[in-house]
Amino acid sequence: MRIFRLGVAASAVTALASCSSIGSLNPDSLAQSGQLATQALMLSDGDVRTLSDKSCAQMDSENQIAPASSQYTQRLNKIASQLGDNINGVPVNYRVYMTKDVNAWAMANGCVRVYSGLMDLMTDDEVRGVVGHEMGHVALGHTKKAMQVAYATSAARSVVSSGSGMIASISGSQLGDLSEKFINAQFSQSQESAADDYSFDMQKKKGYSPAGLVTAFQKLASIDGGHSSLLDSHPSSPARAKHIQDRIASGK
């Protein structure tokens, strides 16, 4: 529930290619925008995982991670054992950030981060539904597109190079901006719905009830105040809760 990031990746990158940075019609600016968009779209799976490694490490360094002895970590470890230790063969590492923010996200390298504020709000079944949704964004390739857009719209876009050299040249401040862009990205309606269904199907396959997704959406809908990418739902949380309820009722 990060479950709720990224406008359509292709349209965001296309926008970069079709207009200049501040509305200027300078041909050089237009050409550079097109080059940046092309460069972003050409990021390989390996490039995206490398960027994810760097970005996740950056985020870890800036947040308080719950220790192994923490009740939060123990809860997440229990939930992780129900979800599995890999996404499409990529090993998953789970951590809890000690913050009152209500959020969770995952990256293409298997980095899964859950905020203590979300765990305070939700039951284990609800957290499992949310994390399963985030894993769905990775499994379905959505996070790769999100990272491409984050790269194209962040300070990291100023790095002019190619291949692995481009990624190696990103500075700490550029990486911080890239991480922020990725964490705050918004997924499209179809991506959100697909990730919801991924979480539903995975939980059913593993023998767990997906009903936690319903109540998780209901709780998110009731939150008032504060900003979290988890709350920027497309479609709305009530509509998503009803979709899962309908699937549970139909047995499909």
Query: pLDDT tens-digit profile of 23-68?
Result: 333 334 333 444 555 566 667 888 899 899 999 999 999 999 999 9
Task: Express each pLDDT in 114-157 by its tens digit.
Answer: 999 999 999 999 999 999 999 999 999 999 999 888 888 877 76
Known catalytic membership, residue 126? no
The whole-angstrom separation of Cα 15 and Cα 50 is: 25
3-class secondary structure, 234: coil
Cβ atoms of 188 and 233 closer than 8 Å: no
Task: Calculate the CA 75 to chain-centre distance.
Answer: 21
**What is the side-by-side strand order in the sheet with 93-97?**
93-97, 111-115, 104-106
Selected catalytic residue, list 62, 134, 180, 192: 134
Cβ atoms of 6 and 185 closer than 8 Å: yes
Residue 178 dihedral angles phi and psi, to the nearest 5°: -60, -45
pLDDT at residue 149, rounded to an integer: 85
3-class secondary structure, 101: coil
pTM, 2 dp: 0.79
Sorted by where each begins, the domain ranges of the chain are 44-250
The mean of the pLDDT values for the chain is 80
Task: Calculate the CA 218 to chain-centre distance.
Answer: 20
Nearest to 39 by CA among 146, 163, 144, 155: 163
